[in-house]
Structure formats: structure tokens, C-alpha cells
């Protein structure tokens, strides 16, 4: 019976939680974490810590609604997954109605609503990870903002903007970043070596890096979509860095 109770307690720590908006997750051997946000904006940073800290915020008209937020924590080998199950689009529509709802995915929604008179929802997820941990992230509606990252090879969002700043001492070894409807903005250490592949269909590309560009500024097919590619080598070349922003801009910044 004691053994069974221990198993149940261990399992409960990996299940979805909703009543407590803040949680410390022990690593227990995990070296990588994958974060998924359905409705929320996702904010990730690193710190000198040996746990993962998670804060999940869901407010409706300024009031905390723990019944509408839900995260699931899953362990798969050496990877932790932090998955937002609530809120989601269908749940919020059912709660407040489609035509009276406006959602802010930002921590500071002051300029989001304007003179909106309907229901105001604030939804975001903050995650702090150990400094050298491998991090990947995906979102559906909200943007993804990450700061002082050391190892973040994959970031993808459908409707949200991607903004990632790497630590000055990070060694960037390959990136695959994509936002379908918003911009992709990445800041890299000045000494980063990479083979660059930048893709947009309707946006522009901006950078303050100096690098040779291959003469391929012509329309092409990428994943079946007409794109304007820009390929080049950064500091002599290295691992592939691929940035895609179909409808908006790409910003590649030098730290």
C-alpha cells in the first residue's frame, strides 16, 4: 500500500495542474524541455537554477480564472514537456461568446484593447529554465519571446511573433524557426558561424550582420509556397540557420 501511494504521488506531480498558477518542476535527469502554448503568449528565460519554474496566468476582465487554465507536464526520457491544454479557443468562446471576446497574449496588455467594451482576457505562460538546458517551443495563437538563451534550436508559431535573444556566450549550432503569420526576430552572438537560409513570401528581411549572399534572389517553391529565398554564410559558415516568416518580416540581429 505504501508503495502504491508513492507511485500515485509521483504520477500526480506530472499531471495537469490548474489551481496553482505557479509551480517548480524538478529536473530528475531531464536535459531538454519542450513548451507548447495553445492560447497563451509564451515567455522563456534562463537562470542559474536546478529546477524549471512555470507561471500560468489566465484572467477574465481582470479576475483570475484558475478553472479556465490547465497545463500538462509529461516526462519522456530526458525531455520534459510543458503543454497548455487550457485555455483554448473553443473553451473561451463557450465561456464568453465569440463576438464579445478579445484576448491579449501579452504580460502587459495596456495597449491591446483600445476602447473595447466586451470581455477582456489576458493569457500568458512564463517559463524559467536552467541556463544550459536545451529548449524548444511551439505556439498557436500567442507569440514566443525568449531571452538569454544558450540552446534553443527550434521555435515555431502559427499566429504569433517569434523573438529570441541568445546569450552573448552561446554557441549556436543550427536553428529552425518559423512563424506563418507574424515576424521572426533573432539576435545572435557576433561570432556565430552558420549557413543562413532566410525565407519570406510577402515580408522583408533586415540584418546588421555583414555576410556574402548567394545570387539566388528569385522566387522559388518552399514547402509548396512561392518564396523569396536569401542564402548566405555567416563568419565562414557552419550549421544551418533557417528562418521563415511567410507573411511578415525577418530580423537577424548581431548582439
Tell me: do 19 and 65 sit in the same domain.
yes
Helix (H), strand (E) counts: the chain: 2, 21
Listed residue (81, 48, 55, 50) closest to 69, CA to CA:
55
d(CA 255, CA 158): 26
Q: Which three cell numbers stand for residue 78?
A: 530526458
| Residue 6 within any structural domain of the chain | no
Tell me: do 25 and 126 sit in the same domain.
yes
Give, as one character, the DSSP assignment of residue 95: H
In contact, 39 and 142? CB cutoff 8 Å: yes
Domain boundary among 141, 160, 179: 160
Check whether the bond before 87 is cis (ω within 30° of 0): yes
The tens place of each residue's pLDDT in the chain, 255 residues long, gives: 443 333 333 444 444 444 457 999 999 999 999 999 999 999 999 999 999 999 999 999 889 999 999 999 999 999 999 999 999 988 888 877 766 788 889 888 766 666 767 888 999 999 999 999 999 999 999 999 999 999 999 999 999 999 999 999 999 999 999 999 999 999 999 999 999 999 999 999 999 999 888 755 555 555 555 567 899 999 999 999 999 999 999 999 999
d(CA 54, CA 21): 8
Tell me: do 122 and 208 sit in the same domain.
no
Tell me: do 133 and 74 sit in the same domain.
yes
Tell me: do 196 and 153 sit in the same domain.
no
| Residue 5 within any structural domain of the chain | no
Tell me: do 248 and 196 sit in the same domain.
yes
Tell me: do 114 and 220 sit in the same domain.
no
Give, as one character, the DSSP assignment of residue 168: T
Tell me: do 128 and 252 sit in the same domain.
no
| Residue 173 within any structural domain of the chain | no
In contact, 170 and 69? CB cutoff 8 Å: no
List the domain range (segments joined by +) for residue 240: 188-255
Amino acid at each position: 500500500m505504501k508503495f502504491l501511494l508513492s507511485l500515485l504521488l509521483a504520477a500526480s506531480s506530472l499531471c495537469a495542474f490548474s489551481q496553482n498558477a505557479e509551480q517548480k518542476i524538478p529536473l530528475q535527469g531531464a536535459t531538454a524541455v519542450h513548451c507548447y502554448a495553445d492560447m497563451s503568449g509564451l515567455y522563456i528565460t534562463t537562470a542559474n537554477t536546478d529546477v524549471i519554474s512555470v507561471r500560468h496566468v489566465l484572467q477574465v476582465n481582470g479576475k483570475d480564472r484558475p478553472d479556465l487554465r490547465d497545463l500538462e507536464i509529461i516526462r519522456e526520457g530526458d525531455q520534459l514537456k510543458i503543454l497548455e491544454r487550457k485555455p483554448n479557443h473553443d473553451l473561451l468562446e463557450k465561456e464568453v461568446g465569440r463576438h464579445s471576446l478579445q484576448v491579449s497574449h501579452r504580460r502587459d496588455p495596456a495597449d491591446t484593447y483600445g476602447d473595447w467594451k466586451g470581455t477582456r482576457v489576458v493569457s500568458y505562460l512564463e517559463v524559467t529554465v536552467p541556463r544550459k538546458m536545451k529548449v524548444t517551443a511551439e505556439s498557436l495563437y500567442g507569440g514566443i519571446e525568449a531571452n538569454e538563451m544558450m540552446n534553443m534550436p527550434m521555435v515555431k508559431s502559427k499566429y504569433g511573433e517569434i523573438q529570441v535573444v541568445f546569450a552573448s556566450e552561446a554557441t549556436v549550432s543550427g536553428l529552425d524557426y518559423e512563424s506563418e503569420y507574424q515576424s521572426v526576430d533573432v539576435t545572435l552572438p557576433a561570432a556565430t558561424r552558420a549557413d543562413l537560409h532566410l525565407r519570406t513570401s510577402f515580408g522583408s528581411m533586415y540584418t546588421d550582420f555583414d555576410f556574402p549572399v548567394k545570387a539566388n534572389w528569385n522566387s522559388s517553391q518552399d514547402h509548396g509556397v512561392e518564396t523569396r529565398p536569401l542564402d548566405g554564410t555567416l563568419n565562414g559558415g557552419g550549421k544551418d540557420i533557417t528562418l521563415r516568416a511567410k507573411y511578415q518580416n525577418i530580423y537577424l540581429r548581431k548582439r
